[in-house]
Amino acid sequence: MWRWRSCMYLKKSLCGFHSPVSSKDRLCYRSISKVTVPERAVSLEVSPVSMADVPQKVPQFYRRVLPQTCISFYSEEGKKIFREALDSGHMECYFKLAAQFRTQDEPAFCGLTTLVIALNALEVDPGEVWKGPWRWYHERMLDCCIPISLVEQEGITFTQFVCLAECNSLEVQPTKAGTGGTLEQFRDIIIEYTKRDDEFLILSYSRKTLNQTGDGHFSPVGGYHPEKDLVLMLDTARFKYPPHWVTVDLLWEAMHALDKTTGEPRGYLTVKKKMQSSHTEQRDILTLFKISPSFDITNVKVFSPGISPFITQWQDWLEKEYTEQEGDNNAVQYIIQNLDTCAEAGDENETVFTTQIDIKCVGDISKAHACVVHQLLNSIEKTSVYKAVTDFLTQQGKEHHLDKLGRITSNLSSGQEECLGGKLTTAHFVVMFLFSWPYEDDGDHSVKRNKDVLLNLKSEAFGNVLSGEFNILRKQFTSLLKLRKEKMAKRKKCSCHK
């Protein structure tokens, strides 16, 4: 006796994650389980079965054949092009990128892997431990306000790539196809950036235009042959296509293809390492805190509905005229009281911060890491703001809303519980928020605003560990606020044209 189970569709596992599954790639298979029957069992009636119902294997692929629009990097012709391009001086970008070139870990990770290659090639210190004592970029570390689980399913858009790059110490110059610039200007960019190794050119384009399978894709540019007008694309989906040479004209056309997720064309961008002074460059290391998933760059407004009212009220309050207070202590209490009022508008289940200690440590926390965490917490406790916050919390008892500033992540190991249990409190999260939030000095000092008071507070001297924590979180908040401003301006512009 045979039991036929329901048909399951297998989604095509290609980097073209924005394109629907085509009929030729959709395959129905039936999983069959055999049931033991007596030896003398009579014959069973089985309903007629079409060829479509015959059990088939799950589709598997070992690479694809490059279309005629592309020339394989390691073919005889590809090697000849490489030698000539090298002699022309347009392969300078290649060597650092090739040293860090890797295969993406997930079918939809082309954007993350391209960014990882650029970050490691530009020698950006992530400020986070990868494994053991080593700090090194990996795709799983690029979780600045966008869930990795979501990227696995959908990939990232052009705008999200820009935000992630800025969150990770890169200066980015993005250019959307169709919004400015010409083919000749694009070619000039290629010519310039293939002659240098301190900045890189990254393209976001449609594979379909190149006659490849899939759709949206990211790749770093690895070189250029000026006479043949060919660009070397270091395709991170090496399980699918090898690196290949493509004409500039075709890439220009591929960048103009619309992204079905955003309804906009793709484009190109240049990335370089942000310049930092030597005395701060090595201390920007994120040890304990992490911005919570309530800040999500895939969200239309970047802030989740639960955290948005809190942050909106906080931003509005910062721009209001400061009510003069007598003494620095009263000024700090004034800030904390108003922060508590703003926090009341937020959802009880959402916070600004969480902790990342469980992500960085497998098993129990090491003694060295525990030492740094304790040093960080001690540094927070030595600030004048920490004392003011603890005094406020003592006075209010349970009648406050500052718990929405942060929460220790769940599922800690026993070693991590021992490290943080009873040591990390609401007051620590409040201090981190007040000092890491980016307060813009617009230069208008005719009226003293609330944000001006906080700018003065930030002049307080901190230890290296605490300064590093503040610097990275402030950088991430700045990127998120910039992206939110751009998205809101775009929505406003669209509504005006309706």
Vertex 199 angle, CA 197 and 203, to 5° = 110
Active-site position among 110, 342, 361, 419: 110
Could you tell me where the DSSP H helices lie in 3-128? 76-88, 94-100, 110-121
What is the Cα–Cα distance from 199 to 125, expressed in whole angstroms?
Answer: 16
Question: Which of 235, 284, 340, 452 is flagged as catalytic?
Answer: 235
What is the Cα–Cα distance from 258 to 265, expressed in whole angstroms? 4
Spatial separation of the C-alpha atoms in residues 222 and 244, rounded to whole Å: 10
Are the beta carbons of 306 and 350 closer than 8 angstroms?
Answer: yes
Q: What angle do CA 300, 306, 310 make, to 5 degrees?
A: 100
Specify the DSSP class assigned to residue 406: B
In contact, 176 and 184? CB cutoff 8 Å? no
Name which of 48, 90, 280, 61 is nearest 194 in CA terms. 90
Q: How far apart, in whole angstroms, are the C-alpha atoms of residue 489 and residue 303? A: 15
User: For residues 403 and 343, what is the distance between their CA atoms, to the nearest angstrom?
Assistant: 9
Helix axes 367-381, 464-496, angle to 10 degrees: 80
Judge whether 217 counts as a catalytic residue: yes
- The partner residues of 32 in beta bridges, in order of sequence, read 4
Closest CA to 32 of 15, 11, 49, 18: 49
Nearest to 16 by CA among 283, 240, 326, 327: 240
Task: Report the 10 Å Cβ neighbour count for 215.
Answer: 21
Side-chain-side CA neighbours of 174 within 13 Å: the count stands at 19
Give backbone dihedrals phi and psi of 259, rounded to 5 degrees, phi first. -80, 120
Instruction: List all residues 6 or more positions away from 58 whose beta carbon is below 8 Å from its beta carbon.
Output: 10, 27, 29
**Does residue 445 carry a catalytic annotation?**
no
Return the structure tokens found at 264: 């906009």
Residue 471 near residue 280 (C-beta atoms within 8 A): yes
Which of 18, 90, 217, 244 is labelled catalytic? 217
Please indicate whether residue 235 is annotated as part of the active site: yes
Torsion angle, alpha carbons of 493, 295, 119, 362, to 10: -160
Residues annotated as part of the active site: 110, 217, 235
